[in-house]
Amino acid sequence: MDINQHIIQSIQAQANSLLHMAGQDRNDYQGAVELIDGMSGKLIFTGMGKSGIIARKLAATYSSTGIPSFFVHPGEAYHGDLGMIEASDVLFAISNSGHTPELLKLLQYSRTKHVIGLSQSHDSALAQFSTVHLECKVDKEICPLNLAPTTSTTAALVMGDAICAALMELRKFTKDDFVKFHPGGTLGRSLLTKAKDLMITEVPMVQPEDGLHEVLLRISEGRLGLVVVGTPSDVQGVITDGDIRRAMASSTNPNALVASEMGTKAPVFIEEQMGVSEMDRLFREKKIITVLVGSAQDLKGVVQFYDIHG
């Protein structure tokens, strides 16, 4: 058995199933989005087993985009947690079969007036309880026995995420809004940290007429692997370690080299307010490791690739 090929084929099979489902889709997504967008209460996700795990993930995703959401376990709800569900809430119930007893019992006793149901058939019991029902039917699971929830749970997750993305677009949810709910961790850092927070302000500099020895000395002292040619109010270029090696290799008299003959005369400048994600994309697109902060007439500092991944 070729394990690598088997896994690749399984991934392709899931992708094909999703595309096939999308091609047959006749769901009322607008109705689901309008229910959530217009609710005065909370969005409560629920589901048993693997569907419950998907529901938990979706609750976390919707909460992170400013929609008050949480997960309620159907079994626990029937034993006291029903009090968490109010009439103004919208219940988002997920069940592959649409006939899960614990889930149907929750719906029977819940005070909520609006239910978004997600199951494999519009003819399911869950569909009968739903204000808006979303059919999420895949052709087969990638499980060799076609039994373990695999493709079906992926489809439910994709459908739930797509609805969330539509709500973000509808509500014009911005990066600034996102920051409010993600102040910590790597994601928070990438959104909150700006170039001005990372830049090194003590930038080694040389003059255009300075010779090779002076350039090497300033690079060594600065410990950034570079020097800027000119002054903070008149930046004329940047010289890196690599630039020096290339200049020496192509020169017939390396000892006669001066700063103006080495490096680049068109360094990349960024604004102080540029965020980490934008800087990372710039570094990768331009295949560089250093950017200057400010302008050629007002140099503020230097940010290097290692600074944002340190």
Backbone angles phi, psi at 287, to 5 degrees: 55, 50
Strands 43-47 and 69-71: parallel
Residue-wise pLDDT for 193-248, tens only, equals 789 988 999 999 999 999 999 999 999 999 999 999 999 999 999 999 899 999 99
Q: What share of the chain is helix, strand, coil (3-state, %, to 5)?
A: 50, 20, 35
What is the model's pLDDT at position 79?
65
Together in a domain, 38 and 109: yes
Domain membership of residue 164 (yes or no) is yes
pTM of the predicted protein model: 0.66
Whether the CB-CB separation of 247 and 257 falls below 8 Å is answered with: yes
Domain membership of residue 101 (yes or no) is yes
Domain membership of residue 252 (yes or no) is yes
310 confidence band (pLDDT: 50, 70, 90): low
Higher-pLDDT residue of 266, 80: 266
177 confidence band (pLDDT: 50, 70, 90): low
What is the model's pLDDT at position 92?
98
Q: What angle do CA 159, 161, 162 make, to 5 degrees?
A: 65
Together in a domain, 112 and 218: no
Residue 187, pLDDT above cutoff 80:
no
What is the total count of domains within the chain? 2
Residue 184, pLDDT above cutoff 60:
no
Task: Give the contacts of 298 (CB within 8 A, at least 6 positions apart).
Answer: 232, 233
Domain membership of residue 80 (yes or no) is yes
- Check which CATH number belongs to the domain holding 42 and give it: 3.40.50.10490
What is the model's pLDDT at position 275?
85
- Token output for 8: 């690749």
Mean of the pLDDT values across residues 176-181?
A: 66
Residue-wise pLDDT for 11-67, tens only, equals 999 999 999 999 989 999 999 999 999 999 999 999 999 999 999 999 999 998 889
Together in a domain, 248 and 288: yes
Its domain, for residue 168, covers 3-173
Domain membership of residue 52 (yes or no) is yes
- Check which CATH number belongs to the domain holding 222 and give it: 3.10.580.10
Query: By C-alpha distance, which of 74, 93, 97 is closest to 152?
Result: 97
What is the model's pLDDT at position 28?
96
What is the model's pLDDT at position 280?
86
Together in a domain, 162 and 200: no
Domain membership of residue 231 (yes or no) is yes
- The residue ranges of DSSP E strands in the chain, in sequence order, are 43-47, 69-71, 90-94, 114-119, 132-135, 205-206, 226-231, 234-240, 269-270, 290-295, 298-304
Residue-wise pLDDT for 88-130, tens only, equals 999 999 999 999 999 999 998 888 889 999 999 999 999 999 9
As beta bridge partners, residue 94 has: 47, 118
Residue 83, pLDDT above cutoff 60:
yes
